[in-house]
Amino acid sequence: MSRDTDKPRLFVECGLEAGARVAIDRAQAHYLGHVMRRGIGDPLLVFNGRDGEWRARMDELGKGGGALIVAEATRPQASDSDIWVLFAPVKRSPIDRIAREATELGASRLAPVLTQHTVARRINTHRLRANAREAAEQCGRLSVPDVTNPVSLAAALETWPAERRLLVADETGAGEAVADVLIALGRERPVPPSAILTGPEGGFAPGELDALDDLPFATRVRLGPRILRAETAILSALACWQALVGDWRDGGAAPGGP
């Protein structure tokens, strides 16, 4: 699939075909013009849930709305996985969730690492620790994860303990299916200590992925066909790890020690 993340993607209601002119509303015009800073002639992608994904160009853009001209199809419509989510509503959740939820999901260490494309370089580790502690208090844990100070990815890898497996959430889609990797990992005895690594919003730099490929302890894993935000990727990979390797298993041999 196209992971052309530099093009804005819009959901529209109307039918899509080559040459169609599609009106966009005020909110979409604001998003394209002010948030994404696009203008007349700029390319984008549109879909409607029925006709697949299409390339389009901005044809008109004003304060109250605008219009696109649809060009050619990029992907046919595919049938979705049929999985529902029924949930009892909860109140708006606070931020600083990675620390909180990785704590709930049993991470033993939270380590901010700075990659080439990382934009958020000022990390409030004090607040991360406060969140991890509060989550540990509420989730029933008997410990608080270790929150380390930010280091560069290169520095983290230079001092890497050789026996610790590193699962790299590879947003290019080139890695192995995460379930296959984790089922194999969960069968090893003793279960090796592990780590999950996710990239920033902009993804890993190609040189970073190449460097990871050269490391015997690192494995690229794929988290499905959709582009996950970093926090979704972290927590998904961690949940899968716990389910297949960690302490969510029946009689699971969770690796011990810090």
Choice between 40 and 120, CB closer to a second copy: 120
Strand pairing report for 165-169 and 9-11? unpaired
17 touches a second copy (CB under 8 A): no
Site string for a second copy, 141-180 (x = CB under 8 A): xxxxx----x-----x-------x-x---------xxxxx
Do 100 and 145 meet the contact criterion of CB atoms below 8 Å apart? no
**Residue 119 contacts residue 201 (beta carbons within 8 Å):** yes
Interface pick for a second copy out of 29, 195, 212, 218 (rule CB under 8 A): 195
Q: Which of 114, 205, 211, 217 binds a second copy (CB under 8 A)?
A: 114
Angle at 178 between CA 173 and CA 184, to 5 degrees: 140
Residue 184 touching a second copy (CB under 8 A): no
Q: If binding is defined by CB under 8 A, does position 68 make contact with a second copy? A: no
Report if residue 23 touches a second copy, rule: CB under 8 A. Answer: no
Only segment of 17-25, 61-69, 115-123, 211-219 that touches a second copy (CB under 8 A): 115-123
What whole-number distance in Å separates Cα of residue 139 and Cα of residue 220? Answer: 30
Q: What count of other Cβ atoms lies within 10 Å of the Cβ of residue 238? A: 22
Q: Which two tokens stand for residue 216?
A: 């015997």
Residue 20 is a binding residue for a second copy (CB under 8 A): no
Cβ proximity to a second copy, 61 vs 107, nearer residue: 107
208 Cα distance to chain centroid: 17
What residues numbered 204-243 form the site for a second copy, per CB under 8 A? 222-232, 234-243
Q: Which of 24, 56, 112, 209 touches a second copy (CB under 8 A)? A: 112
Distance, CA of 213 to CA of 219 (rounded, Å): 7
DSSP 221: E
Contact call for residue 118 and a second copy (CB under 8 A): yes
Integer CA distances (angstroms), 129 to 103, 207, 242, in order: 10, 31, 22
The least distance separating a second copy from the CB of residue 185, rounded to whole angstroms, comes to 11
Nearer Cβ to a second copy, position 33 or 200? Answer: 200
Q: Which amino acid is at 234?
A: I
